[in-house]
Amino acid sequence: MNLLEVRGVSKQFGSLVAVRNVSLSVPAGQLRAIIGPNGAGKTTFFNMISGAVQPSSGSVQFDGRDVTQVPPWRRVTLGMARTFQITEIFPELSVAENLRIAVETASGMRLRPWISRRATTAVTRHVEEMLAQTGLMSKAGRLVGELAHGDQRVAEIAMALALRPRLLLLDEPTAGMGEQETFEITQLIRRLHRERELTIVLIEHDMRVVFHLADRIAVLDQGALIGEGTPEEIAADAAVQSAYLGQVAEAGAA
Amino acid sequence: MTQLLLFNVTNGLIIGAFYVLMALGLSLIINLSGVINFAHGGFLVIGGYLAYALTPALGFWGALLVAPLLTAVIGLVVERLLIRRLYGRDPLYSLLLTFGLAFMIEDGTRFIWGAQGLPVTVPDFLNQPLSASLFFITGYRLFMVAVVAVAVAALFLLLRYTRVGIRIRAGTLDLETVSTLGVNVGRLRSLNFAAGIFLAGLSGVLAGGQLGLDPTMGAGLLMPSFIAIIVGGVGSLPGTLVGGLLIGVAAGVTAVFFPSASDAVMYVLMAVVLLLRPRGLMGEEGLMT
Amino acid sequence: MNAGGRTNRLVLAAIWVVLLAAPFWLNLVGGYTALGSRVLVLGLAAMSLNFLLGFTGVLSFGHAAWFGLGAYGAGLALKFVALSTPLAMLLGTLTGGIAGALLGALIVHRRGIYFAMVTIAFGQVFYYIAYRWNSLTGGDDGLRGFSRQPLAFGPMRVDILNNSTLFYYFVLVCFAVAVGIMALLLRSPFGRTMLAIRENERRARFLGIPIELHIWIAFALSCVFISFSGTLYALLNNFADPNNLYYSLSGDLVIMAVMGGMRVFWGPLLGAAVFVVLQDYVSSLTTNWMSFIGLLFVLVVLFFPRGLLGMLRQRRVA
């Protein structure tokens, strides 16, 4: 069964159609990339999956349940976690505190006015596990707002992971990163996918990252789905070539 | 009874027109700059007292024109020196700063002109009632409504048809885009602030002619203006217009039946609007929420 | 890390020593015990407001309403219900807390400027009620004809009515309890969600936190705390008047929090101390004290936006 099933969603902003009748099925364990030129509607589509934007029509199903009307915070509790194109973190709190909030919320403790010593220990252990996995252990006590951009992106992914999601949505995880940082974050995503069999949907501009990571690729252009397939199929697809890869090739040549 | 009702509805409309003038100025500033100008009532007081000081030299008509302009100039100076530094910061800070200014203006007025009320002398012919049966409508009250109507119409026309006006409206919706188009946002905000303060000054002159002047009059008119904006919908000038008239009339009508509740009715109205239509009567979702 | 912890404990100990010894040193520096009680009460009010302002990032500019409701609630309870100080405090706190929780439910979907305007405007409702309902509240003259009652612990009586030093300690105990609960809450998982909302609402929502619910709870708690401080204010003065509900008091409370340091737990207490002492002093010198208070607002905003303790802390980090 598919973990994520998007059926014919559209989104109109006034007279502008940002996304037009797009469907997407992602089986559990798959790493799916969404690519497309700027303004193709990728982020709007993403926002409809996570609930940040309500679709004008169509439906979103998660794990066999229709979540189209479900508010974003509840989608998170159902097992959907996401990161943002522009890093969203708690800048004036430490890395460990950022993760602690994620862990406590995911463990259903968010309304508790007190916490037992034992629960604290369990939360701390989980936080340290996340820090170790993402290589942030040495920066645990620093304020996230003071970290380098790359580390902030990693911290955001770590927060999403701390929610123990079944579906991880990553909006341009390598945005604004240098070579080395891009390489490291790609390795991290690959490891999460392989070792934890985590289902991941990501938007990405860097084609090397996409072709390196994705099991399958969906291509959006002007709000519509114009191609879908394995990386090999996409690389060979003429329509995709002209809509997107051609542009990239031109840009690269120029 | 009909007479009484008519009296109070008219009264309400006149008061409402007044709230509108005050609230439109506040609303302009909130929309473009994100500043809740707590000193707006203070600027109203300045306008009124300036008119009082200028009347001996310029006469009522001269004061009516010059006092609001001078108030706007003072507003411009305050914006350039103080408020400008706070754009883009937490709205808390501009709120506190203008709050302090309001204290200083009220106290300063008291220091200069004394705590007792002062009259603004109005030309005699304006003080005549229209007729014996409509004794409650003096010429001055009609005149007030006419001035408010002209000012409001002029404001809306300016916003609609002049380049600056169009930029102000565009800036209200999306300031970032406007600034990338090469518009000097700083100057736009100064101008917009001055326009808002001009309206406050004008309210002050008109109010002085009707009620006389006292240093606390601005504070008393501030809250109805807030409510007019909330009822109409934060971010919408037409909403502010409707909101101001509505609470004025509501207060007027209530005064007929429950005189002691006439102050409270606008709060009830606000609660009802927030319950049924949280963004205000004419507010748009996503704007300023 | 460890050194920081020790410094914090030392600072904390120093604060309590200063507060405990206040009746002894206040007179030496030209103060008086009631002034100390006033600082504590308004400090608690500012800290309650800051629970929302500094730690949840929600701008309420109408908190005087809940403060005043607490004061009137306690005064009316003493006058009409029973001659019991604890009961008056309970009823006063409930009055403000419940009213605040109800209003909070109406406005939690609003943010920023809108939220500030709605809280200011609604706060005034209670001012008008207190001002107009002469027969119950005494209108403009304020509510008189009640006084705090001595406490009775079994056969032991503590006369907080006539002994102002005893009353100071009574206020200090109440202050300690309320502040202790606040501190515990801020260290709890719920408290951390408040910080999360302050830091980044969107991130918090996408961690699975229903923002509106959490803001509402924080708002209601803040109203309960500030009403509690309001009841103490009525007991302190044996009097409540409409100015306890007026929006300029809301402004005073916000400036206390900002002046002391919104991001620092004890900041608002320091802010309240400075404000109260300054107001006391300036108003004894000149009738134009309003101008000075106004100037204080302007100067704080322009030159000390992080507050006294906020600046101190920043310097320590740097």
- Chains A and B touch, using 3 or more CB pairs below 8 Å: no
Global pTM reads 0.91
Range of the domain at B105: 17-217
Choose the mutation target among A50, A85, A110 for the interface with C, i.e. most C CBs under 10 Å: A110
Instruction: Tell me the C-alpha distance between B47 and B221, whole Å.
Output: 14
Q: Is residue B241 part of a domain?
A: no
d(C-alpha A141, C-alpha C302), whole Å: 32
What integer is the mean pLDDT of A66-95? 95
Phi, psi dihedrals of residue A168, rounded to the nearest 5°: -110, 125
Q: What is the pLDDT of residue B45?
A: 94
Question: Rg for chain C (alpha carbons), in Å?
Answer: 19
Take residue C186 and report the two structure tokens written for it.
Answer: 């801020």
Question: Tell me, what DSSP letter sits at residue B120?
Answer: P
What amino acid occupies position B157? Answer: L
Tell me, rounded to whole angstroms, the distance of Cα A99 from its chain centroid.
17
Contacts B226 to C, Cβ<8 Å: 117, 120-121
Phi, psi of A122 (to 5 degrees): -60, -45
Name residue, tokens 């100080």. Answer: C85
Contact C294 B103 (CB under 8 A): yes
What is the structure's pLDDT at B135? 65
Whether residue A144 contacts residue A152, with contact meaning beta carbons closer than 8 Å, is answered with: yes
Total number of domains constituting chain C: 1
The average pLDDT across A230-241 equals: 83
Asked if C189 and A104 come within 8 Å (Cβ–Cβ), the reply is yes
Q: Which amino acid is at B113?
A: W
User: Are B87 and B32 within 8 A, CB to CB?
Assistant: no
How many Å lie between the alpha carbon of C300 and the closest alpha carbon of chain A? 23
Query: A242: which 2 tokens?
Result: 């002209």
Distance set, CA A73 to CA A26, A170, C55, C148, C208 (Å):
21, 17, 21, 48, 4
> Stretch A205-234: mean pLDDT, rounded?
91
Minimum mean pLDDT range among A19-28, B93-102, C284-293: C284-293
CA C43 remoteness from chain centre? 5
Find the residue in B nearest to C288 (Cα).
Answer: B107
Q: Which residues of A touch C214 (CB under 8 A)?
A: 110
Parent domain of C21: 2-317
Closest chain C residue to the Cα of A75, Cα to Cα:
C208
Report residue C63 CA to chain centroid gap.
9
pLDDT over 90 at A124, yes or no: yes
Q: Which residues of B touch C53 (CB under 8 A)?
A: 92
B90, B104, B105, B110, best to mutate vs chain C, most C CBs in 10 Å? B104
**% of chain C residues with pLDDT over 90:** 68
pLDDT digits (tens, 9 = 90+) for B250-285: 988 887 787 777 778 888 898 888 888 878 888 765
| pLDDT tens track for A38-71 | 888 999 999 999 999 999 999 999 999 999 999 9
Q: How far is B278 from chain C (nearest CA, A)?
A: 8
- Alpha helices, DSSP H only, in chain C? 2-25, 33-53, 64-76, 85-107, 112-132, 134-137, 164-186, 189-199, 201-205, 211-237, 247-260, 267-285, 289-303, 308-317
pLDDT of C266 strictly over 70: yes
The mean of the pLDDT values for chain A is 91
CB B208 within 8 A of CB B79: no
Number of structural domains (chain B) is: 1
In a domain, B238, yes or no: no
The Cα–Cα gap between C73 and C96 comes to 8
Record the tokens describing residue A191, joined without a space. 């490891």
Quickly tell me which residue has 């705090």 as its tokens. C148
Query: Which one has a higher pLDDT value, A1 or A44?
Result: A44
Count, residues in chain A: 254
Q: CA-to-CA distance for C58 and C219, rounded, in angstroms?
A: 8
Residue C31 to chain A, least CA–CA distance (Å): 39
pLDDT above 50: residue A233: yes
Amino acid, res. B103:
F
Taking CB atoms and an 8 Å limit, are C206 and A50 in contact across chains?
A: yes
Confidence of residue C1 (pLDDT cuts 50, 70, 90): very low
Look at residue A146 in the predicted model and tell me its pLDDT.
Answer: 94
CB contact under 8 A, A110 and C208: yes
Distance CA C237, CA B272 (A): 36
User: Is the separation of the CB atoms in B87 and C280 below 8 Å?
Assistant: no
Residue-level pLDDT at B289:
37
List the beta bridge partners of residue A201.
A32, A169
Average pLDDT over residues C96-103: 95
Query: Edge-to-edge strand order for the sheet containing A167-171?
Result: A80-82, A167-171, A199-203, A31-35, A216-221, A224-229
B154 min Cα distance to partner chain C (Å) = 27
Q: Are strands A80-82 and A167-171 parallel, antiparallel or unpaired?
A: parallel
Contact call for C188 and A115, based on CB within 8 A? yes
C124 to chain B: nearest residue by CA?
A: B223
Considering A8-17, B121-130, B277-286, C167-176, the range whose residues carry the highest mean pLDDT is C167-176
How many degrees, rounded to 5, is the angle at CA C184 between CA C183 and CA C190? Answer: 105
Place of tokens 């609609």: B160
Bridge partners of residue A216, in order along the sequence: A32
Please give the pLDDT value at position C78: 94
Residue A128 CA to residue A9 CA, distance in Å, equals: 39
pLDDT tens figures, B173-196: 888 888 888 888 899 999 999 999
Domain containing C309 — which CATH number? 1.10.3470
Nearest to C298 among B100, B110, B230 (CB): B100
Chain A CB contacts of C263 below 8 Å:
92
Quote the CA–CA distance of B229 and B282 in Å, as a whole number: 10
- Bridge partners (DSSP) listed for residue B224: none
The 10s digit of each residue's pLDDT in A132-188 is 999 999 999 999 999 999 999 999 999 999 999 999 999 999 988 888 989 999 999
Q: Which residue has the tokens 């809280």?
A: C119
pLDDT in tens, C115-157: 998 999 888 889 988 988 888 988 888 999 999 998 888 788 8
Q: Is C72 a residue whose pLDDT tops 90?
A: yes
Least Cα distance to A116 among A129, A130, A104 occurs for A104
- Candidate ranges A194-198, B213-217, C117-121, C250-254; pick with highest mean pLDDT: C250-254
Q: A166: exposed, middle or buried (C-beta count within 10 Å: 0-12, 13-18, 19+)?
A: middle
3-state secondary structure of C153: strand
Q: Is pLDDT at B5 greater than 90 in this prediction?
A: no
Q: How far off is chain C from A223, nearest CA to CA, in Å? A: 24
Number of CB atoms found within 10 A of residue A140's CB: 16
Q: Which domains does chain A have, with CATH numbers?
A: 1-79+167-254 (3.40.50.300), 88-164 (no CATH)
Min Cα separation A100/chain C (Å): 9
Within-domain flag for B242: no
Task: Provide the pLDDT for residue B286.
Answer: 46
What percent of chain B has pLDDT above 90? Answer: 43
Mean pLDDT of C100-124: 89
Q: What are the tokens at C97?
A: 């807390």
> What's the rounded Cα separation, in Å, for the pair C8 and C3?
9
pLDDT digits (tens, 9 = 90+) for B64-111: 999 999 999 999 999 999 999 999 888 899 999 999 999 999 999 999
- pLDDT of the residue at A247: 56
Q: Do residue B230 and residue C59 have CB atoms under 8 angstroms apart?
A: no
pLDDT at C3: 60
Q: Per residue in B192-214, pLDDT tens?
A: 999 999 999 999 999 888 878 88
More confident position, C2 or C235: C235
Q: What is the model's pLDDT at position B200?
A: 95
pLDDT above 70 for C318: no
What's the rounded Cα separation, in Å, for the pair A160 and C225? 35
CB contact under 8 Å between A102 and C207, yes or no, is: yes
Within-domain flag for B232 = no
- As beta bridge partners, residue B138 has B129
C-beta atoms surrounding C16 within 10 Å = 11
Contact A224, A44 (CB under 8 A): no
**C-alpha dist (Å) from residue B263 to A165, B42, B224, B247, B269:** 54, 21, 9, 10, 11
- Assigned domain for B172 exists: yes
pLDDT higher than threshold 60 for residue B288: no
Q: What's the mean per-residue pLDDT of chain C?
A: 91
Which of A71, A101, A113 faces C207 most closely, judged by CB atoms? A101
Beta bridge mates, A217: A33, A229
Chain B residues at the C interface, defined by Cβ less than 8 Å, are 30, 34, 36, 38, 82, 85-86, 89-93, 95-97, 99-104, 106-108, 110-111, 223, 226-227, 229-230, 234, 260, 263-264, 267, 270-271, 274-275, 278, 288-289
Strands (E), A78-210: 80-82, 167-171, 199-203
Chains contacting chain B through 3 or more C-beta pairs under 8 A: C
Between residues C310 and B50, the one the model is more confident about: B50
Q: Give the pLDDT confidence score for residue B155 in this predicted structure.
A: 93
Higher pLDDT, A95 or C122: A95
Query: Burial code of A193-221, b = ≥16 C-beta within 10 A, e = fewer?
Result: beeeebbbbbbbebbebbbbbbebbbbbb
Amino acid at A106: A
